[in-house]
Chain A
Amino acid sequence: MERSAVFVGENCSRRSVMLSGGAIFGAACIPKIAHAAGARDPRLVVIVLRGALDGLSAVGPVGDPDYVGLHGSIALSTKAANPALPLDSFFALNPGMPVFQRMYRDNKAAIVHAVATSYRERSHFDGQDVLESGFAGPGHTTSGWLNRAIAELPKGDRAALKGGLGVGAVTPLIMRGGAAVVGWAPTALPQASDDLAMRLMDLYQHADPALARSLAQGLGIEKIASREMSGDKPQGGNDIQLMRRVAEGAAKLIAPQDGPRIAALAFDGWDTHFNEGGGGGRLAQLLGGLDGAFEAFEKTLGPAWNDTAIVAITEFGRTARINGTVGTDHGTGTVAFLAGGAVRGGRVIADWPGLKEANLYQNRDLKPTTDLRAVLKGVLAGQFGLSPSALGSKVFPDSMGVAPMKDLIA
């Protein structure tokens, strides 16, 4: 299959795109965004969604006739009780993300669908290492691609001078390396996430009932359980509120003139094996948290928002078919979110593989048709002018064959 990107704007006919079977760079499809020449001061924020985001429930291909059959009760629909938010005639956004939809309509947000790293196994640990290290395979954990990108910037570049910002108790792998990095983490001792607590409860219930009783009491487990089970009652868990707060904190640090220009964040909790929920429920709450993070960046960055690009990426996708516990298991193709004033938005960028059984990857996953590195290279090239050779050798080693995606940045 030809590797090519299809740009689909709101004004484009999905049909024409599908029929063309190749790349379309129609002028009508690309929103024209003007920005003041010469005054750009670009910023880049990369949000790592650890746990493998279900791209098919985040951005549903509601126009694909095989979607509902595979994704079952958690398939998004614009006619459901929690109606999905239309993006174009083919894709609809999870209702947890109204802010992102507004940005999309303002041409400040885009989605790349059926995207994946070069990693084709299904281990979170290795998948995250590949995603963050930028190497073609696992086993490289000393430096990350975002840090190496900073190191490749011209020495006098503002973004190079200011170094990177790594958010978290330790710098995420994606931001580790030789280039200068400052760290920041929210100060309060964070409580263990609901997800971790539930997993430990499950372990204790099978292996140590006495500890299970104690822990259940300590956690006030009934509360968590009801939140997990009754998918349609979003209450906003601790970890979900945290996303907005962390984004706010990071935005305050990169907004000032003398602040770093490039930041990395990581949000956990996307490993939705059971009771994933569709338009409502656990995943919708998590996506609401991510939506809150986008909004926090927009509000807090002020004028700097205009030259900012935020990219949210995950290690791999999830199975196209739901499993026996109304969730999804580890898969391959998924989505990447782009948002910010610098983004050439209003588009779902996809060389859509289709969801017919024969089109699924290994008869189970959304087939990846776009290399995530092409997207990330495109953003780095558009924001900071990094050359294809630096991107293909230093930032993403051994990836000269993966061309930077064009025109992601306005």
Chain B
Amino acid sequence: MSAPNPMLVALNRFGLGGRGAASVYLANAAADPRAFVRSEIDKAPAMAATPDLKATPELVKKLFDFQAERQAERNAAPPPAAPSTAGGPDAAAQAGPALEKAAPKPPPYPQQVFRAEALARIRASALAPVGLRERLVAFWANHFAVSVNKSEFVRTTAGAFEREAIRPHVMGRFADMLKAVEQHPTMLHYLDNQQSIGPNSRGGQNQKKGLNENLAREILELHTLGVSGGYDQNDVTNLAKIITGWTYAGRAEQMGPAGTFIFNPNWHEPGEQVLMGRTYPASGREQGEAALADIARHPATAKHIATKLAAHFVADEPPPTLVNRLIDVFNKSDGDLKAVTLALLASDEAWSAPLTKIRSPYEFMLASVRLLGLTPEDPAPVLGALNQLGQPLWAPNGPNGFPDTTGAWASAEGLKLRLDVAQLMAQRLRDPPNPGDLLNDSLGAAASDTTRDAVAHAETKQQGLALLLMSPEMQRR
């Protein structure tokens, strides 16, 4: 198999695809693909200024207010009547089309925040010159997955979690990202650590409650060492003990402002603990921080992360030479993720491996938005499509996140739904561009004759655009 077109490697393997309306990027991608990708690594992070998005403590405080208000309303209101079928969706359908619908009720607070955060994420992805940084944000957000379906707390703070714990570190040190993630209220809540109490702590003795190993297990299995990383059940239990007392301030704000990370010494399991053969002397919050700092630098972690990154960007079964080089860079650079990314970008493997992976639904949707030159003002169409396509934003089924393999996303049903979505997207364009022109402007010589012919012979602009969105050039990366 011949090496892939370097422009497609730059735009699709490393980025989120070309932006149709911004052809200067395309010219740069074609002229010097490696420099084009590199340019985004050196730049300041996108989404630096997001004045309308709030920090976690403010969000949590408002969430608590919202919940208290709702409870008060419920207490005051009479019990709800039995649900009536008269106004159900069937009745509405039978009544035929209506030109004007009643103004919809504003969504509840958690959903409002979720939509604003989603829009910010989608726009950052849509507008980035290359999209590599946004790809990394999505990669790490999936690595440290949380789900908005867990609770209103996660729904309200999932976006802030990504902005605060992940974004600042995608070109930083892995150990720093790990600490920021495991001390973030969203992760502590999602994996139940706010309920985990040292059995021998003062709180444990008083409340007859104990450990919850959920977060500790996922730190070792998913976040750092990997499932075959050499830890055992004792390590899980001991790490759970080490991070007892890691929680966030609640409504009562006894130990700090609501929604801030706090260390509760009354819940912390006393005594020294052994993790992966190392002994961590009794202390407080520092015990957990020292443990995380060590496992972030563990060789198993380096291997886990390097393999996952290479599998994400290059191939489901990445070339071992590439993985080994990334492991080496990770170890020698003390887990510097910028150094690892640069090594990936500089590797021959990344530019020679055929484009066998298929875009995830998120990548497909954003690449389509970019190709069509759209600037989303409303997250709903993209969010709706992601739900349809099985990758709802910030809502994987479990802490292991969404799958990252071609087999998972190139499924029979998945492709069919993707085609439905592509058609819908094309049909919703107010002033659809000529698909042949768009193909030339976006893919240029990288498009195959087959794709070129199919698009040129479409019977409508919309059909041509749907074919372009579904073409192998737009699906493979």
Residues of A within 8 A of B (CB): 50-52, 124-125, 128, 141-142, 168-171, 173, 182, 184, 186-187, 189-193, 195-197, 199-200, 202-204, 206-208, 210-211, 214-219, 248-249, 252-253, 259, 268-271, 273
Contacts and interface: CB of A to CB of B under 8 A. Distances in A.
28 contacts: A124-B459, A125-B435, A125-B436, A125-B464, A142-B431, A169-B428, A170-B429, A170-B430, A186-B97, A187-B93, A190-B427, A192-B420, A197-B419, A200-B467, A202-B454, A203-B450, A203-B454, A207-B471, A207-B472, A211-B358, A214-B414, A216-B412, A218-B413, A252-B96, A253-B99, A259-B99, A268-B460, A273-B457
Q: What are the 7 A-B residue pairs with the smallest beta carbon separation, nearest first?
A: A218-B416, A271-B459, A217-B412, A51-B459, A218-B412, A208-B472, A203-B454
Given A125-B460, A196-B463, A184 B97 contact: yes
A200 B419 contact: yes
Contacts, number: 126
A203 B467 contact: yes
Interface in B386-400: 388
Given A203-B450, A203-B454, A215-B415, A195 B466 contact: no
Contacts of B415: 211, 214-215, 218
Given A169-B424, A208-B472, A268 B459 contact: yes
A124 B458 contact: yes
A264 to B, nearest CB: 15
Interface in B421-435: 422-424, 427-431, 434-435
Given A214-B410, A259-B99, 6 more contacts: A200-B454, A203-B471, A210-B410, A218-B411, A218-B414, A249-B97
A210 B412 CA distance: 11
Interface centre among A51, A125, A197 (most CB of B within 10 A): A125
B224 interface: no
B155 to A, nearest CB: 24
Contacts of A253: 97, 99
Contacts of B96: 248-249, 252
Contacts of A191: 420
A249 B463 CA distance: 24
Given A125-B461, A268-B459, A190 B97 contact: no
Nearest to A205: B450
A124 to B, nearest CB: 5
A268 B436 CA distance: 19
Contacts of A50: 459-460
Given A189-B420, A197-B419, A211-B472, A182 B460 contact: no
Given A190-B420, A215-B416, A200 B430 contact: no
A192 B97 contact: no
Nearest to A266: B460
A124 B461 CA distance: 8
Given A169-B424, A184-B99, A200-B470, A124 B410 contact: no
A182 B101 CA distance: 12
Interface string B436-477: 100000000000101100100111111110110011100110
Given A124-B459, A207-B448, A199 B454 contact: yes
Interface of B: 93, 96-97, 99, 358, 388, 410-417, 419-420, 422-424, 427-431, 434-436, 448, 450-451, 454, 457-464, 466-467, 470-472, 475-476
A213 to B, nearest CB: 8
Contacts of B462: 268
A170 B431 CA distance: 9
A285 to B, nearest CB: 16
A51 B454 contact: no
A131 to B, nearest CB: 11
A372 to B, nearest CB: 18
Contact of B411 (A51, A214, A249, A271): A214
A190 B423 contact: yes
B467 A196 contact: yes
A199 B358 CA distance: 20
A190 B424 contact: yes
A302 to B, nearest CB: 14
B52 to A, nearest CB: 28
Contact of B450 (A169, A171, A207, A216): A207
Contacts of A215: 412, 415-416, 419
B460 A189 contact: no
A217 B414 CA distance: 11
B431 A141 contact: yes
A408 to B, nearest CB: 28
B410 A211 contact: yes
B361 to A, nearest CB: 14
A50 B476 CA distance: 30
B412 A199 contact: no
A170 B461 contact: no
A273 to B, nearest CB: 8
Contacts of A219: 416
Contact of B427 (A170, A173, A270): A170
Contacts of A192: 416, 419-420, 422-423, 466
Given A169-B427, A184-B99, A200-B470, A52 B459 contact: yes
A70 B428 CA distance: 39
A189 B450 CA distance: 29
B450 A196 contact: no
B460 A170 contact: no
Contact of B423 (A171, A193, A206): A193
Contacts of A52: 459
B293 to A, nearest CB: 44
Contacts of B434: 125
Contacts of A124: 458-461
Contact of B459 (A170, A184, A270): A270
A5 to B, nearest CB: 29
Contacts of A207: 448, 450-451, 471-472
Contacts of B450: 203, 206-207
A211 B97 contact: no
A266 to B, nearest CB: 8
Contacts of B419: 192, 196-197, 200, 215
